[in-house]
C-alpha cells in the first residue's frame, strides 16, 4: 500500500515538474519573440530615421549647391555690371563728342561750300591755261564737279571727295608720260596725229609717216611744226607705248618763267 502511494507521489511530482518545464519553455519562447519583434521595430525605426536623415542631407546639399550657384551668378553679374557701367560711360563721352560735332556741322558746311567752289574755279582756270592735252576729258570732269555741287542728293563729304579726286588726277599728270591720238589743224589742214605728253612741260605731235613733227607753244597758244625733234619724239612715243625701255629724250621745252 505504501509502495503505491509512493509511486503516485513520484508521478505527481514528475507531472508537476513537466508542467513547470513546459510553462517555462512557453514563457521563454514568448520572451524571445518579443525581444526579436522589439529589435525589428527598432531596426525599422532606425531605418526610417536614417531615410529621413538622408532626405534632409540631400535637401541640405541641394540648397548648398543652389546657394553656391547663386553666389557664382551674382559674382558674374557684378563683373558684367562693372563692364557695362564702363561701356555706358564711354558711350556717354562719345555721345557728347557727336553732339558737339553736330553743333559744328552747320558752321563747317557754311565754310566748306565756298572752299569747294574756289577749288573748282581754280581747277577750271588751271586746265584752261595748261597745255591742251585731253581737253575734252578734263573739261568734262570740271563740268561734272559743278553739277554735283548743285545736287541735294549728294552728301558734302562725297562732293569734297570728288573735288580732291579731280585734283589728284591733275597732279598725277605732272609725273607721267602718255601717248594718244588727236585731230589737229595744221596749216589749214585737219588730220590725226600721234600725241606725246611729257609731264606738264611738253606736248608734241607727229604724223604716222613721221614727216610732220611739232609741239605746242604755250606762249603763242598754238601748234608749231618743229621737225628738228623728229627722231626724239618718235623715240618718246615708243617709250610711252612701252615698246622700248625708258631712256633720255632730248626735245625742245619752254624756258622756265621768272
> What's the average model confidence in pLDDT over 174-203?
91
- Following DSSP, what letter does each residue of 168-221 receive, concatenated? HHHHHHTT-EEEEEEEEEETTEEEEEEEEEETTTEEEEE-TTSS-EEEEETTTT
The rounded mean pLDDT for the chain is: 83
Higher pLDDT, 99 or 140: 140
CA distance linking residue 207 with residue 217, whole number of Å: 18
Higher pLDDT, 79 or 3: 79
Where on the phi/psi map is residue 199: left (φ > 0), alpha (ψ -120 to 50), or beta? left
pLDDT, tens only, 66-76: 888 888 888 88
Q: Which residue has the cell 615708243?
A: 238
| pLDDT higher than 60, residue 140 | yes
> What's the average model confidence in pLDDT over 48-67?
79
- Check residue 152 and report its DSSP letter: S
CA distances from 79 to 86, 88, 92, 212 (A): 11, 14, 20, 84
Helix segments in the chain, DSSP class H = 2-129, 135-149, 156-173, 230-240
Look up residue 48 and give its three cell numbers: 526610417
Q: Which residue has the cell 509502495?
A: 3
| pLDDT higher than 70, residue 3 | no
The predicted structure's pLDDT at residue 6:
53
Look up residue 18 and give its three cell numbers: 513537466
Cα atoms in the 13 Å half-sphere on the side-chain side of 60: 6
Percent of the chain with pLDDT over 90: 39
pTM of the model: 0.56
The predicted structure's pLDDT at residue 83:
85
Torsion of CA 194, 200, 202, 203, to 10 degrees: 30
The predicted structure's pLDDT at residue 28:
56
pLDDT confidence tier of residue 97, bands split at 50, 70 and 90? confident
The predicted structure's pLDDT at residue 108:
74
The predicted structure's pLDDT at residue 94:
82
Strands 177-186, 222-225: pairing is unpaired
pLDDT, tens only, 7-41: 555 555 555 555 555 555 555 556 777 777 777 88
The predicted structure's pLDDT at residue 84:
84
Q: Taking every pair of C-alpha atoms in the chain, what is the biggest distance, in angstroms?
A: 195
The predicted structure's pLDDT at residue 2:
45
- Check residue 257 and report its DSSP letter: P
Contact 234, 210 (CB under 8 A): yes
pLDDT, tens only, 193-236: 999 999 988 999 999 999 999 999 988 889 999 999 999 999 99
Amino acid at each position: 500500500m505504501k509502495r503505491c502511494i509512493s509511486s503516485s507521489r513520484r508521478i505527481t511530482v514528475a507531472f508537476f515538474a513537466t508542467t513547470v518545464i513546459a510553462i517555462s519553455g512557453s514563457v521563454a519562447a514568448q520572451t524571445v519573440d518579443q525581444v526579436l519583434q522589439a529589435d525589428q521595430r527598432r531596426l525599422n525605426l532606425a531605418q526610417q530615421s536614417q531615410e529621413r536623415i538622408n532626405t534632409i542631407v540631400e535637401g541640405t546639399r541641394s540648397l548648398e549647391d543652389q546657394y553656391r550657384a547663386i553666389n557664382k551668378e551674382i559674382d558674374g553679374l557684378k563683373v558684367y555690371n562693372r563692364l557695362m557701367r564702363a561701356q555706358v560711360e564711354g558711350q556717354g563721352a562719345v555721345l557728347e563728342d557727336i553732339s558737339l560735332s553736330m553743333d559744328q556741322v552747320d558752321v563747317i558746311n557754311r565754310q566748306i561750300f565756298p572752299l569747294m567752289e574756289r577749288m573748282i574755279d581754280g581747277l577750271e582756270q588751271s586746265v584752261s591755261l595748261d597745255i591742251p592735252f585731253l581737253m575734252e576729258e578734263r573739261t568734262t570732269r570740271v563740268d561734272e564737279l559743278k553739277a554735283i555741287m548743285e545736287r541735294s542728293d549728294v552728301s558734302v563729304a562725297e562732293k569734297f571727295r570728288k573735288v580732291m579726286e579731280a585734283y589728284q588726277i591733275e597732279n598725277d599728270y605732272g609725273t607721267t608720260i602718255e601717248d594718244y591720238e588727236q585731230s589737229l589743224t595744221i596749216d589749214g589742214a585737219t588730220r590725226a596725229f600721234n600725241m606725246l605728253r611729257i609731264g606738264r612741260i611738253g606736248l608734241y605731235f607727229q604724223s604716222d609717216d613721221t614727216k610732220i613733227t611739232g609741239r605746242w607753244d604755250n606762249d603763242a597758244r598754238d601748234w608749231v611744226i618743229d621737225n628738228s625733234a623728229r627722231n626724239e619724239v618718235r623715240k618718246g612715243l615708243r617709250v610711252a607705248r612701252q615698246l622700248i625701255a625708258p631712256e633720255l629724250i632730248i626735245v625742245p621745252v619752254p624756258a622756265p618763267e621768272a
